[in-house]
Amino acid sequence: MKKIPGFILKNGIEIPVAAFGTYKAADGKSAQVIRAAIEAGYRCFDTASFYGTETYLAEAIRESGIAREEFFITSKVWKTEMGYENTKQAFERTLKNLDTDYLDMYLIHWPLPEPGYRDWKALDLETWRAMEDLYAEGKIRAIGLSNFLPHHIENILANCRVEPVTDQLEYHPGYSQEAAVQYCQARRILVQAWSPIGRRRVLEEPLVRELAEKYGVSPAQICLKFAVQRGILPLPKSSSPERMRENMDLFSFEMEKEDIWRLATMPQQGWSGEHPDRERVKI
């Protein structure tokens, strides 16, 4: 199989550009969707203890017959698992669920366990210290963050032994979080895009459809390429094998700079309603 291009993290580890998000990828209580993703060529998978997909990912990898070393697996410590000892215990559960003795990447899922939590700075640092120790022990190849905004990341950077190599953010045309992205990229923190295709409104946006027609690709591919061309790793998910393969085809076309800026300055739309410091907004 042709090697998928990758991003080099600041600790020298390579992560494939074509990654597959497993959130709600096992709603049928089986590994079928993840098996299909492996068959489509995906080797980079994003999971989390909260998703409930770790055991299904392990099952799909076992059944594939492909060596564990061929995969790049990311998981995350959930809001209720934060703190030094809790994180260590959560990590061991994740290893057991994934049937592996190491992770390629481990992230703090959210900076606050709940909106308004006063001692989040101390809690984040406790959690990070546990991850640094696991990293030093060789149990994790890279450690990072998810849904952290610049003021959350500053707390980590001011107190860490190992700097985070990545931050997962909601990112798509209509919600590109420019301040957070620029902050991360200035510090060589790779941004990974969750919900990179946005909601249906984004796929039906006239500009996205216009560009899809211009480049002869799908609206989803326009959204994913928008991330890749800005140095961001998208984490799409799909249950359709055809769309899985389509979502991997990000290198057969290149968008003009003007079109990238048009997408970056679209009016806000497709936001999930999630914000790390606030109650979720029902959209």
CA 31 to each of CA 67, 116, 205, 243, 276: distance values in angstroms, whole numbers, following the listed order: 17, 37, 33, 18, 30
Angle (nearest 5°) at CA 134 between 169 and 26: 50
**HSE-CB for 92 with a 13 A CA cutoff:** 6
* 102 in active site: no
Q: Distance between CA 276 and CA 134 in Å, rounded?
A: 25
> Which one of 23, 42, 51, 56 is the catalytic residue?
51
User: What does DSSP say about strands 14-16 and 6-8: parallel, antiparallel, or unpaired?
Assistant: antiparallel
Which residue has 């990112």 as its token pair?
A: 171
Helix ranges, 216-273 (H)? 219-228, 241-248, 257-264
Q: Phi/psi at 61 (nearest 5 deg)?
A: -65, -45
Q: Is 184 strand, coil or helix?
A: helix
Structural element, H or E, at residue 210: helix 206-215
Q: Distance between CA 101 and CA 162 in Å, rounded?
A: 21
Encode 27-40: b = buried (16+ Cβ within 10 Å), e = exposed: eeeebebbbbbbeb
Q: Could you give the residue numbers annotated as active site?
A: 51
